[in-house]
A and B are shown apart, each in its own frame.
Chain A
Amino acid sequence: MRLIQRVGDWFDLRLQLGSPIRETVQHPVPRETASWFYVFGSAALTCFMLQIVTGILLALIYVPSAGEAWNSLQTLNHGISLGWFIRALHGWGSNFMVAIVLIHMVQVFLFGAYKFPRELTWIVGVFLLLVTLGMAFTGQVLRFDQDAYWGLGIGASIASRVPVIGPWAVNLMLGGPIIAGATLSRFFALHVFVIPGLLIAFVGVHLLMVLKLGINEWPMPGRIVRRDTYLQEYRELTHKQGVPFLPNAVWKDILFSGFILLSIAVCALYFGPFGPGGQPDPTIIQTAPRPDFFFLWLYALLSFLPPSAETPILLIGPAIGIIVLLALPFVAGEGEKSWKRRPIAVLTILLIAVALGTLTHLAEHTPWSPVMDAWSSQPIPSEFLQGRTALERRGALVFQGKQCHNCHSLDDRGGQRGPALDGVALHLTEDQLVRQVIQGGGNMPAYGKNLSPAETTALVAFLKTLHPASQAPARDASRAAALGASEVSPRP
C-alpha cells in the first residue's frame, strides 16, 4: 500500500492533478439532484466511449473502399473471431446513444435546465444532438450495402434541390458524379475524423460548463428563475444543503451506465449485428431501400408531403427546427422551471413524441408503397371468385395480371397505396368505375392505354361484384329515370 502511495505521490508532484480532480468529484451538488432523473448525460457519454473503442476495433479490419467495404463487413461478420459481436456492439451502441441523447434532451427541457445561466450548455447540447445524428447517418453509410447506396441517392436528391448551388452540393457530397468510391471515402473521413473530433470538443465544453455552473437544481413549482437572484439562490442550495457529487450522486450514474452497457451487450448478443444487407450493386434493382430506425420518421414524412410543398419543407424545415432549439434559452431564459407549471412544454413533448412515433410506425409498414410482388404472389381470396360469371372471373384475372393488386388490397392482402376494394361497388357505379380505371385520378395512374376494351369490361364486371351480400351496389338513380321506370337496373 505504501509503495502505491509513494508512486502516486511521485506522479502527483509532477502532474499536480490530484487536488483539482478531488475538488471536481467532491464538488457540492443540490441534494435532490442525486436522482435517477440525472443519469442520462453520463450514460450518453458512456455510450460514446463504447463507440470510440468499438469503432477503433472495427477500423482494424474495415476497408473504406466502395469495391471492398461490403466484403470486409462479411469478413468481420464471419471470418474474424467475434467480429460480429464488435459490429453488433457498435450498431446497438449507436442506437442506444441516439435514444439516450434524446431522453437526456427531453429531461433537460422538462426540468427547465436550459434557463439562465445554462443557455450555452443547452446550445452546445443542440450541437451535440446534431453531431450524434450525423454520426448515426454517416455510420449507416459505412455499412455499405443497398440501403446505404440508395440512402446516399436520397441524400443527393435532397441536396440537389437547394436553389442555385444544388448540383454543386451533390457533386461535393458524392465526391464526384456518381455514388462511388470517393463518396464512401469522404463519409469515412466524416465518421471517423471530422464528426468525432467535433463531438469530443463539444462534449468537453458541455461538461466543463456543467462543472462550472453546477448541475441544474431539482425544479420546484413556484421557484422562479431570475437573472439577478438565481446565482445567489443556487449557491445557497449547493453550499448550505448540498451533498458532495462523490459519492452521494455519482453511484446512480455509475450504476445506470453499467446497466446501459449491459443492455447494449445483451442486445448485441441476442440480436446480432445490423446487416450488411444486399451488395451495393446499383444494377440490382429488386430492392426496397429504407433508412435506419432513427431516420424512419423522415422516410415516412417524405412520402406524405404534398409534392409542391416538399422542397421548401425539406430545405427550410430543418433550419427552422434548429433555430427554434437554439433560440429556446433566449426566449424562455427566466421563469418557471417545473414541468408541472409548464403545460405547453409538456404538450409540445407529447405532440413531438406522438408525431415521431406515428411516422416511425407508418414507415415500418410503408402503406404508401406498392407491394411490388402482390400481383404474382398473393392470389385473390377464393370468396371473391365463388359464384362469379366467366366474365367476372376474367376480370379478376385482369386485376391480378395488370398489377392492380400491388396497390389495392382485397381481404387485407395486397398493397395499401390505393383504397381497399372489398366494398368498392358500394361507392362507385359502373360508369364511375370505368372512368376511374381508364382515366385514373386521385393519385391513380390512368389505365386507358394499357387495357383493351374487353379487359376493361371484364375488370369492371369483377369490381361490380365487390360488395357485401347484404348491401346493394351503388347505382345511378338518374339513369333509371332517363331510361324509363321499367328499366331499374343499369345497362347490362
Chain B
Amino acid sequence: MSVDNGMSRRAMLVKLGVLLNAIVGVFLAVPIVRYLLSPVIRERQVGYESWLSLGALEQFPAGQTRLAIYRNPVVNAWDGETGDIACWVRNVDDQKFQVFAINCAHLGCPVRWFAQSNLFMCPCHGGAYYQDGSRASGPPERGLFEYRYKIEDGKLLIRAGEMPTPGQPVANKAGGKTTCA
C-alpha cells in the first residue's frame, strides 16, 4: 500500500465521517424544526378557537355595552391571569348582539367604552370607534374585531381562543364592517 493510497483512504474516511454527521444532523433537524414550529402546526385544522360561554343573557341589558371576561380555552396551568381575556358585549335590541375584542384594530391596546359619547377609545395612539365597532377616527384602518356569537339555553356564546390581530384572516372575516354610525 503506497503512501498516496493511505492518504486518500484517510481523506475518504474523513469525508465519510462528515457525511455521517450531515445525515444525523438532518435527522435531528426535522424534529427540532417541528418542535420550534409547534405553535403554528399544532393541529391547525382544528385551530385554537372554540365556543365558550360569556354567561347568562341577563348580564347584558338591551341597548348597553358591557365588559365581559372569559377564560381562554387554550391555557396552561402556569398562565395565571394572562389566560383571562376581556371583551365588550353590546346588546343591540335583545335579538342582535355584537361582541368586540378588547384589542384595538391598530396595534392591540385595550379599548375603553364611553357610554356617554357612545365611543370606544384607545389609550395608545388615539384610535376611536363608534358603538357598532366601526372606525370613527385615528390610526386604525378598520373597525373593532368582532367575535362570532350564538345564544344557547339563555347564555351568550362566542367563538374565541386566539388574540385577534390585523393580519388575521379569521378576524377580518368576522369584523371590519364599514357601517356608518
Complex partner residue of B123 from A157, A177, A372, A446, CB under 8 angstroms: A372
Interface string of B122-141 (1 = CB under 8 A from A): 11111010100000111111
List the B side residues contacting A443 at CB < 8 Å: 137-138
Most chain A CB neighbours (cut-off 10 Å) among B103, B110, B141: B110
Main secondary structure of the interface of A (DSSP, over half): loop
> How far, in angstroms, from A119 to B117 measured CA to CA in the complex?
59
Check B168–A180 contact: CB distance below 8 A: no
Given contacts A161-B167, A167-B167, contact A150 B109 (CB under 8 A): yes
Check A372–B112 contact: CB distance below 8 A: yes
Cβ-closest chain A residue relative to B47: A177
Check B80–A66 contact: CB distance below 8 A: yes
Residues facing B in A364-416 (CB within 8 A) are 368-370, 372, 375, 401-404, 406
Cβ-closest chain A residue relative to B114: A403
Interface string of B44-72 (1 = CB under 8 A from A): 00001100000000000000000101001
- Distance in Å from the Cβ of B91 to the closest Cβ of chain A? 17
> How far, in angstroms, from A12 to B181 measured CA to CA in the complex?
82
- Distance in Å from the Cβ of A295 to the closest Cβ of chain B? 13
> How far, in angstroms, from A280 to B110 measured CA to CA in the complex?
13
Total A-B residue contacts, Cβ distance less than 8 Å: 202
Of the candidate stretches B22-30, B149-157, B158-166, the one touching chain A is: B158-166
- Distance in Å from the Cβ of B106 to the closest Cβ of chain A? 7
List the A side residues contacting B130 at CB < 8 Å: 445-446, 449
> How far, in angstroms, from A305 to B127 measured CA to CA in the complex?
13
- Distance in Å from the Cβ of A363 to the closest Cβ of chain B? 10
Asked if B121 is at the interface of the complex by the 8 Å CB criterion, the answer is yes
Q: In the complex, how many residues of chain A place their beta carbon closer than 8 angstroms to a beta carbon of chain B?
A: 68
> How far, in angstroms, from A113 to B148 measured CA to CA in the complex?
59
Check B79–A287 contact: CB distance below 8 A: no
Cβ-closest chain B residue relative to A415: B126
Interface string of A416-458 (1 = CB under 8 A from B): 0100000000000000000000001001111111100000000
- Distance in Å from the Cβ of A404 to the closest Cβ of chain B? 8
Check B124–A175 contact: CB distance below 8 A: no
List the A side residues contacting B110 at CB < 8 Å: 150, 282, 285, 287
Cβ-closest chain A residue relative to B87: A283
Asked if B85 is at the interface of the complex by the 8 Å CB criterion, the answer is yes
> How far, in angstroms, from A443 to B85 measured CA to CA in the complex?
30
Asked if B39 is at the interface of the complex by the 8 Å CB criterion, the answer is yes
List the B side residues contacting A177 at CB < 8 Å: 48-49, 72, 74, 161-163
Check B112–A286 contact: CB distance below 8 A: yes
> How far, in angstroms, from A299 to B141 measured CA to CA in the complex?
17
Asked if B11 is at the interface of the complex by the 8 Å CB criterion, the answer is no
Check B80–A67 contact: CB distance below 8 A: yes
Cβ-closest chain B residue relative to A300: B125
Check A176–B39 contact: CB distance below 8 A: yes
Complex partner residue of A167 from B74, B85, B109, B165, CB under 8 angstroms: B165
Interface string of B89-118 (1 = CB under 8 A from A): 000000000000011001111111010111
Check A449–B181 contact: CB distance below 8 A: yes
List the B side residues contacting A67 at CB < 8 Å: 78-82
> How far, in angstroms, from A421 to B103 measured CA to CA in the complex?
31
Check A162–B109 contact: CB distance below 8 A: no
Complex partner residue of A180 from B75, B108, B126, CB under 8 angstroms: B75
Size category, B interface: 35 or more
List the A side residues contacting B37 at CB < 8 Å: 172
Complex partner residue of B85 from A283, A299, A401, CB under 8 angstroms: A283
Cβ-closest chain A residue relative to B112: A285
Asked if A302 is at the interface of the complex by the 8 Å CB criterion, the answer is yes
> How far, in angstroms, from A402 to B84 measured CA to CA in the complex?
31
List the B side residues contacting A157 at CB < 8 Å: 103, 106-108, 165-166
> How far, in angstroms, from A444 to B128 measured CA to CA in the complex?
9
> How far, in angstroms, from A303 to B107 measured CA to CA in the complex?
10
> How far, in angstroms, from A33 to B130 measured CA to CA in the complex?
63
> How far, in angstroms, from A302 to B107 measured CA to CA in the complex?
9
Interface string of A439-481 (1 = CB under 8 A from B): 0100111111110000000000000000000000000000000
Check A445–B165 contact: CB distance below 8 A: no
- Distance in Å from the Cβ of A58 to the closest Cβ of chain B? 19
List the A side residues contacting B79 at CB < 8 Å: 66-67, 180-181
> How far, in angstroms, from A372 to B130 measured CA to CA in the complex?
16
Asked if B2 is at the interface of the complex by the 8 Å CB criterion, the answer is no
List the A side residues contacting B36 at CB < 8 Å: 172
List the B side residues contacting A368 at CB < 8 Å: 125-126, 138
Complex partner residue of A156 from B85, B122, B165, CB under 8 angstroms: B165
List the B side residues contacting A372 at CB < 8 Å: 112, 121, 123
Check B140–A282 contact: CB distance below 8 A: no
Asked if B144 is at the interface of the complex by the 8 Å CB criterion, the answer is no
> How far, in angstroms, from A159 to B79 measured CA to CA in the complex?
22
Asked if A236 is at the interface of the complex by the 8 Å CB criterion, the answer is no
Check A370–B121 contact: CB distance below 8 A: yes
> How far, in angstroms, from A252 to B158 measured CA to CA in the complex?
65
Cβ-closest chain B residue relative to A375: B116
> How far, in angstroms, from A170 to B39 measured CA to CA in the complex?
9
Interface residues of A (CB under 8 A from B): 65-68, 149-150, 153-154, 156-162, 166-168, 170-172, 174-182, 279-283, 285-290, 299, 302-303, 305, 307-308, 310, 368-370, 372, 375, 401-404, 406, 417, 440, 443-450
A-B residue pairs in contact (CB < 8 Å), sample of 9: A156-B108, A179-B82, A181-B76, A370-B123, A375-B116, A404-B117, A440-B136, A440-B137, A444-B137
